[in-house]
Structures are given as C-alpha cells and as structure tokens.
C-alpha cells in the first residue's frame, strides 16, 4: 500500500459521509462559457492565446497620461504560487476554500508536479498540474461534494461529465448519477472517466469536509495517483499575476481569480456521424500567459477583466482607440472595452452574461483607472 493509499484509507476510517442530494452536472454552464469565449474572440478579433489577472506584491506601475510600455521578455518559466504565511490550509479549515480569490488553500510538492494554471472562485479552488513528459492533471477542491463536481466549469469543459457516455460501458460519468449521492463518490477509488480519452479520476476526502477531485490521462490510473500524492493541504498559496485592480466601483469586489502561465492539451470527445473520437484541441504555446479577474458589481452584475499576453509578434490592433480613460487608449464598443497600448497584449473587459445588466460607463472607468500592470508580462518570477 502506497503512502497515498494509507492517507486515503485513514481518512475514510476517520469519517462517516452523509448523503448529499445533487443534480446532474451543469452542462449549460459549460456551453455558456464556450459561447462567451467565442463571442469575445469574435468581437475583439484577436488571436493571442492567453488571459491574466490580479496578484499581490507585483512590480507595479501607476497609470499616467502616457502609460509606460512593459517589457516583453519571452519566457516559458512556470511560477509556483507563493506561500501565504499565517493562512491555514484546507486540511485545517476546509470551510475557507473559495472564500478569498486572492488565496489557494492548498499547494503542490514542486518536486513532483508543476502548477501551470490555478483558479480561486466562489466555494471552489482548482489547479492544472504538469507531471512531466506531457502528462497533465486537473485538480478541483471544495468544501462539499456537489461544488467539487459542478463548481468549476472551466475545468469541467475539459474533463467534463458524460463525455463518452453513449459509447462506454464503464462510464464513471464524473457526475454521481441517479440513485448515488455525490458524497459516496469520494471514497478513494480510482475510476475511468471514459474509454475514449483514457482519462482517470480519483475522488477522496483527506479530512472530513474537504472534497478533492483529481483527473489525469494515462493507460492506467497511475498518473492520477501520482498527481494526488503531490497535493499538500497543510499550506496556503497566493494568486499572483502581472496585473492588479487597485480601484473598484462602490460596493464591488473581486470574486474570482484565474491564471494560466502555460497551457496543456486535453483530448475532448467529438462525435460526428455516430463516430466518437478524442480530438486534441488547439492550445496556447508554452510562453503564453493568461489570466482573468472577475469583478462582482452591485445589482447582481459582473465585469470580467481579461488579459492575454504573447511574446510573439502579432498583427497590429484592428481596433483604434475611440476614447481615453484614465490616460489609457480604449476602444469602446458600448458593452465591451478593449484597453490598447500594451505590446503583444489583449486587455479587455465587458458584458458577457446576457442575463445580467451591462456594466455602466462609470463602473468601467473606475476599473480601468485602477489598472496596474507588471513591468515584465512574460517573466512570472518578477510578478511577486
């Protein structure tokens, strides 16, 4: 029995799981995310592959009438989110998961895996891990099983439920399914996601009230076990990125942080004419950076702020500034705003959820006025 097996077995012996009602996974949320992404790319007309966000302790610059141009050092360096001293980890305080978008309440053994993307949002935290040799794993952590299953659409888009449900006999279905509560899935058993992508999933509770879901690709479940063994729940980390928002509209708050310093591919299942095959989706190069910061506004509205950086030469901006906000050139499309003037970078914000009200001009102006950008967008080690 491995150390991970012993940890899982011990956790299972020390706790008793009660039934928790759960609905099917929210595929509508996944589809909605795809639609928003297509809309954003169509509106912006850009093909940079990246999105960048808030951070703490970043080398920053105050906006001026003529914002200085950041350096554009190309670098594939992977940065590990720095420790957050004095903050308890998820094992000590599971209820803290997803309560502060500036924090991740778990970490990774850097000798076993490298974080290449991380996210902290409402009641859920997640990471993508590089296990080496092109193997990746996706980790979702939450304080309840339902949230661990449906609380991170950006992850579920790739490892999502029922991807090959019609063509597999073993289908784990990621989702609990009828007659089986979500909590009972978190039993330390490795299951196959489907027989097409050869994905594996491990769900368990390191301590009572802490639900962990790890998925990885491989011929066997060895990779998902290796990813799970690399996780550390006795520490907390900070979300670092080359951009900060230092001013928010009245009553607004930052509700989500998402950063990707390197993209990895995951085969998604495509069914055409009854034939189901895994298809490698296009991914950003290793020297691209992505991040997103979501601002929760008053009145049940949100303003996602997205930064995409690529050190590679790109075509000139198709859009020209039609106004200036806080000294920054901006292309204003009425419900979408593209901040110009940062080399090889797409910095945008706007109305993405048609069920919400559109952000006001005053709210957008406040956010743009508080933008602070790192001196080197392509060097993650300089962000702290």
All structural domains of the chain with their residue ranges: 3-35+86-237, 243-382
The answer on pLDDT for 72 being more than 70 is: no
Q: Are 174 and 201 in contact (CB under 8 A)?
A: yes
**Mean residue pLDDT across the chain:** 74
| pLDDT at residue 104 in the model | 97
Q: Which candidate, 289, 287, 294, places its Cα nearest to that of 252?
A: 294
Q: What is the pLDDT of residues 88-126, one digit of tens each?
A: 999 999 999 999 999 999 999 999 999 988 999 999 999
The answer on pLDDT for 17 being more than 50 is: no
Q: What is the pLDDT of residues 187-243, one digit of tens each?
A: 999 998 766 667 889 999 999 999 999 998 888 889 999 999 999 999 999 988 778
Long-range contacts of 170-177 (CB under 8 A, 24+ apart): 170/194, 170/195, 172/201, 174/25, 174/149, 174/201, 175/22, 175/24, 175/25, 175/149, 176/22, 176/145, 176/149
| pLDDT at residue 232 in the model | 97
Which range has the worst mean pLDDT, 56-60, 337-341, 376-380?
56-60
Pairwise CA distance, residues 76 & 51, whole Å: 15
| pLDDT at residue 219 in the model | 81
Eight-class DSSP state of 37: H
The answer on pLDDT for 271 being more than 60 is: no
Indicate the pTM of the whole model.
Answer: 0.73
Instruction: List C-alpha distances in Å: 167 to 58, 133, 178, 195.
Output: 48, 29, 19, 8
Q: Which candidate, 207, 258, 238, 256, places its Cα nearest to that of 107?
A: 238
Pairwise CA distance, residues 31 & 357, whole Å: 20
Of residues 143 and 353, more confidently modeled: 143
Phi, psi angle pair for 193, to nearest 5°: -65, -45
Q: Are 151 and 143 in contact (CB under 8 A)?
A: no
How many CB atoms are closer than 10 A to CB 59? 16
Which range has the worst mean pLDDT, 91-95, 141-145, 378-382?
378-382
Q: What is the pLDDT of residues 19-68, one digit of tens each?
A: 433 333 333 333 444 444 444 444 444 333 333 333 333 333 333 333 34
SS3 call for 22: coil
């Amino acid at each position: 029995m491995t150390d991970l097996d012993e940890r899982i077995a011990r956790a299972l012996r020390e706790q008793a799981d009660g039934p928790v009602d759960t609905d099917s996974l929210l595929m509508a949320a996944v589809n909605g995310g795809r639609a928003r992404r297509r809309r954003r790319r169509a509106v912006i007309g850009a093909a940079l592959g990246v999105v960048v966000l808030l951070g703490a302790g970043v080398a920053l610059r105050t906006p001026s009438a003529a914002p200085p141009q950041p350096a554009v050092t190309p670098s594939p360096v992977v940065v590990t989110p720095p420790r957050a001293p004095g903050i308890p980890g998820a094992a000590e305080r599971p209820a803290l998961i997803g309560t502060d978008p500036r924090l991740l309440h778990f970490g990774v053994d850097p000798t076993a895996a490298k974080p290449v993307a991380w996210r902290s949002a409402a009641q859920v935290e997640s990471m993508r891990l590089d296990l080496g040799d092109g193997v990746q794993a996706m980790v979702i952590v939450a304080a309840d099983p339902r949230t661990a299953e449906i609380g991170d659409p950006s992850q579920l888009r790739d490892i999502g439920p029922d991807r090959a449900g019609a063509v597999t006999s073993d289908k784990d279905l990621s989702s609990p399914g009828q007659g089986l509560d979500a909590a009972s899935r978190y039993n330390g058993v490795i299951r196959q996601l489907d027989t097409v992508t050869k994905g594996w999933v491990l769900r368990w509770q390191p301590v009572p009230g802490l639900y962990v879901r790890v998925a990885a690709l491989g011929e066997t479940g060895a990779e998902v076990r290796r990813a799970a063994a690399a996780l550390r729940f006795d520490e907390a980390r900070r979300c670092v990125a080359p951009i900060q928002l230092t001013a928010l509209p009245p009553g607004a708050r930052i509700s989500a942080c998402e950063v990707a310093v390197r993209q990895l591919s995951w085969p998604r299942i495509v069914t055409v004419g009854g034939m189901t095959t895994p298809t490698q989706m296009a991914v950003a190069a290793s020297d691209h950076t992505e991040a997103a910061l979501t601002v929760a506004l008053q009145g049940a509205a949100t303003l996602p702020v997205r930064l995409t950086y690529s050190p590679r030469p790109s075509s000139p901006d198709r859009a020209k500034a039609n106004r200036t906000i806080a000294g920054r050139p901006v292309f204003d499309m009425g419900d979408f705003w593209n901040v110009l003037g940062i080399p090889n970078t797409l910095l945008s914000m706007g109305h993405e959820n048609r069920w919400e009200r559109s952000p006001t001009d005053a709210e957008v102006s406040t956010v743009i006025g508080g933008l602070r950008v790192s001196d080197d967008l392509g060097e993650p080690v300089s962000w702290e």
